[in-house]
Amino acid sequence: MLWDTNYHFNLPPPILRLLEILEAGGFEAVVVGGCVRDYLLGRTPKDCDLATNATPQELAPLLKAHKIPTIPLGLAFGTLGARFGKQVFEITTYREESGYTDHRHPKVHFNATLETDLKRRDFTINALACHPQKGLLDLHGGLADLRAKRLRFVGVAVDRVNEDALRILRALRFASVLGFKLEPKSAQAVLEHAPLLKYISKERIFAELCKILMGAQAGAVCATYVGVLEGVLNTPLNPTLLSPLSQMPPNLTTRFLGLLFACETPFKSLAELKPPKKLIKNIERLLPCTHQSPPLSKIWLKTQMQILSLSQVRAWLGWLKAYEPSKWAVLRTHFKQIGAQREVYTLGFLAINGRSLKGVGLKKAEIGACLQACLKEVIHQRLENTPSALSKFARAWAQNLREHALK
């Protein structure tokens, strides 16, 4: 195996310690996967994983002897977690996979070598290994693909997608997050085999879809691979409406709003993915807003802020930024002013409350309606937000009510 010693990686101290322990115990160990890729791209890796020829049964006592707590993360797949304070590092036994039965789950064999372990990984850029003394190991041309910003399956693209259909969405995820392009055979395999995604659980699909949507190139990727998304959402999508996704702030509600805006059956498609209830609620509230042309007045914005939460308003403004930037600029300025000047848009900001209204002679059941009337007047700038002005208005409101009741 050809290690390139010209590469040096600034690996986290717990990883160096684990490598030392494993090697002193007579085993092989290397850093693999996404973290090598991210180091080479100059990105901060989310996690840092080790691969070794030690089995979990050999690993557990070895780590215990060095007082490193372990967590069984997936022993059937040969993965053990090593805990250092709040951080957990995954150590996975070299494995070979075969006999995929359901387009997702393989039979796992542990009598593998580093070479076979790298071969079972999805993309060339995820099949790199590194080691503090040995340098970099690139058996599948991952480095050249990293430099060319190219996503390529290890081995025959069609076979890799057939084995595990989740790789279709992982391809779109890396293309979106890293801004890479799929090389032609990988792109073709992904597009042609999209129907296999029916074998993948909704939870997995939803998790990958979130990552695709949050990527910097979400717009271009969703538009290019619209056929894949149509399969996932089970509905036709308008690709032109998907392109602006990248211009939206990376807020999950905002980006889902962008995706579902392009969708013929948005609520049904979203519900089928079993997302968190909060996302469903946000979309139910905000999607109708995307189909109306917003007036540009501050008063209108304040009335929306009565109905929507602040995070929902922010999410909707993020959507507007991509589709109607000039309207967004006006409304965002209003939104900032309302916040900075603590302008009244909700009952809590009124200079009176229910208790102070009791003195005005209102019945308990009438207080809520009177406060709402006060708020409306203040928002429309027809009434000053001071206790005296509000009490005066409330008295007149109550009198008006009595007079109407008498008629």
Is residue 167 at the binding interface for ligand ATP, with CB under 6 A as the rule? yes
Round to whole Å and give the CA distance between 93 and 112.
8
Round to whole Å and give the CA distance between 253 and 245.
12
Q: 47 vs 284, which CB is nearer to ligand ATP?
A: 47
Beta bridge partners of 80: 72, 91
Residue nearest to ligand ATP (CB): 34
Q: 34 vs 215, which CB is nearer to Mg ion?
A: 34
Round to whole Å and give the CA distance between 382 and 403.
23
* CB 391, min distance to ligand ATP, A: 58
Is residue 34 at the binding interface for ligand ATP, with CB under 6 A as the rule? yes
* CB 36, min distance to ligand ATP, A: 8
Binding part of the chain for ligand ATP, among 7-15, 44-52, 218-226, 356-364 by CB under 6 A, reads 44-52
Is residue 126 at the binding interface for ligand ATP, with CB under 6 A as the rule? yes
Is residue 20 at the binding interface for Mg ion, with CB under 5 A as the rule? no
Round to whole Å and give the CA distance between 170 and 156.
16
140 binds, options ligand ATP, Mg ion, none, Cβ within 5 to 8 A by partner type: none
Residues 279-338 that bind ligand ATP (CB under 6 A): none
* CB 94, min distance to ligand ATP, A: 12
95 binds, options ligand ATP, Mg ion, none, Cβ within 5 to 8 A by partner type: none
Residues 377-406 that bind ligand ATP (CB under 6 A): none
Is residue 166 at the binding interface for ligand ATP, with CB under 6 A as the rule? yes
Instruction: Kindly determine how many residues on this chain lie close enough to bind ligand ATP according to the rule CB under 6 A.
Output: 12
Binding part of the chain for ligand ATP, among 65-73, 160-168, 183-191, 202-210 by CB under 6 A, reads 160-168
DSSP summary character for residue 250: S
Is residue 47 at the binding interface for Mg ion, with CB under 5 A as the rule? yes
Q: How far is residue 165 from each of residues 137, 324, 385, 403, measured CA to CA in Å?
A: 27, 37, 60, 71
Round to whole Å and give the CA distance between 163 and 245.
31
- CA-based Rg of the chain, rounded to a whole angstrom? 29
Is residue 34 at the binding interface for Mg ion, with CB under 5 A as the rule? yes
CB 137 within 8 A of CB 3: yes
What value, to the nearest 5°, has the Cα angle with vertex 381 and ends 375 and 384? 75
DSSP summary character for residue 153: B
Q: How far is residue 66 from each of residues 17, 52, 84, 146, measured CA to CA in Å?
A: 10, 17, 12, 37
Q: 34 vs 244, which CB is nearer to Mg ion?
A: 34
Q: 169 vs 390, which CB is nearer to ligand ATP?
A: 169
Round to whole Å and give the CA distance between 253 and 210.
10
Interaction site with ligand ATP (CB under 6 A)? 33-34, 46-47, 49, 121-122, 126, 164, 166-167, 170
Interaction site with Mg ion (CB under 5 A)? 34, 47
